[in-house]
Amino acid sequence: MTKDLSWLTKRPIAHRGLHDLNRQVWENTLSAFHLAVEKNFAIECDLQLSADRVPVVIHDDDLKRLTGVDAAVWQRTAAELRALKVGGTQDHVPLLDDLLDLVRGRVPLVIELKGVAGHDDGFVEAVAAKLNAYRGDVAIMSFDHWLIRDFRAHMPDIPAGLTAYGRDNRLVEGHFSMLAHGLDFTSYAAGDLPNPFVGFVRERLKMPVITWTVRDRPAVDLTFRYADQMTFEGFDPDALGIAATS
């Protein structure tokens, strides 16, 4: 049965939450997620795995930029990570549990799993344990092919996507190879549109395509010419009258 993914493209998707480019509200924090919920934007966020195999919400595998700590995410426990402040604010590094408890199905979630080869055993299973019990619209995606290959085994009912970029033949051929693993959508770099992969999945497979990361009007225009919805940051789509293609 084809999954109904109309919710995925209904509203713009706030990249790492509705932050202000890390001036006062930082990316991937509960404050950024709260603001996205208030504005009724879908939320894109990143997950990594802690030393004790707990999914935490953070983009970088190195903690330095966001917390000032010179260590890798996988070297710290969930409790140690959750105690760290982000950007000198009062926001801490959230657990996936914190995000799910805050959102509670009020807006869609588009969750990217960021693997670290050699340090992410059990990552997909740990995320599945949380998301399979979650009541709300949620999708998972990744750049990492080794993680995507495990999505269906552990989260068969959750829409799965490929995060991707590029136009050259080697990259595009790799993207096509992942269609064998039950993809439901793709999230593609807006600056790399159009390309044969996006054209094929959207036109032939009727697969939704969202874009990343849209920060200006040219990227908005590319998105709605060649894709279905955008993952944005640094502006308010509603103020520009941008919602969806349908």
Helix, strand, coil in percent for the chain, rounding step 5: 35, 20, 45
- Would you state the pLDDT for residue 241? 83
Strand partners, 231: 13
The residues, ordered by sequence, that sit 6+ positions from 119 with a Cβ below 8 Å of its Cβ are: 49, 72, 74
Q: Domain of 77? A: 8-235
- Would you state the pLDDT for residue 135? 97
With respect to residue 90, please indicate whether it lies within any of the assigned structural domains.
Answer: yes
The residues, ordered by sequence, that sit 6+ positions from 147 with a Cβ below 8 Å of its Cβ are: 113, 115, 120, 123, 124
Residue 240: pLDDT band (50, 70, 90) is confident
With respect to residue 188, please indicate whether it lies within any of the assigned structural domains.
Answer: yes
Q: Is the pTM of this model over 0.75?
A: yes
With respect to residue 221, please indicate whether it lies within any of the assigned structural domains.
Answer: yes
Q: What is the pLDDT of residues 38-74, one digit of tens each?
A: 999 999 999 999 999 999 999 999 999 999 999 999 9
- Whichever domain contains 77, its CATH number is 3.20.20.190
Would you say residue 2 has pLDDT above 80? no
With respect to residue 180, please indicate whether it lies within any of the assigned structural domains.
Answer: yes
With respect to residue 97, please indicate whether it lies within any of the assigned structural domains.
Answer: yes
The domain tally of the chain equals 1
Strand partners, 14: 43, 232
Unique residue bearing structure tokens 């039950």: 182
- Would you state the pLDDT for residue 245? 44
CA dist 51 and 201 (Å) reads 37
Helix (H, G, I), strand (E, B) or coil at 15: strand
- Would you state the pLDDT for residue 1? 46
Taking residues 185-197, report their average pLDDT. 98
How many Cβ atoms are within 10 Å of 159's Cβ, its own excluded?
A: 23
The mean predicted confidence, pLDDT, of the chain is 96
With respect to residue 216, please indicate whether it lies within any of the assigned structural domains.
Answer: yes
Taking residues 118-145, report their average pLDDT. 98
Helix (H, G, I), strand (E, B) or coil at 87: coil
Element holding 96 (H helix, E strand): helix 96-103
Would you say residue 80 has pLDDT above 90? yes
With respect to residue 241, please indicate whether it lies within any of the assigned structural domains.
Answer: no
Taking residues 190-200, report their average pLDDT. 98
Q: What is the pLDDT of residues 170-186, one digit of tens each?
A: 999 999 999 999 999 99
Q: What is the pLDDT of residues 211-225, one digit of tens each?
A: 999 999 999 999 999
Would you say residue 244 has pLDDT above 60? no
CA dist 162 and 98 (Å) reads 25
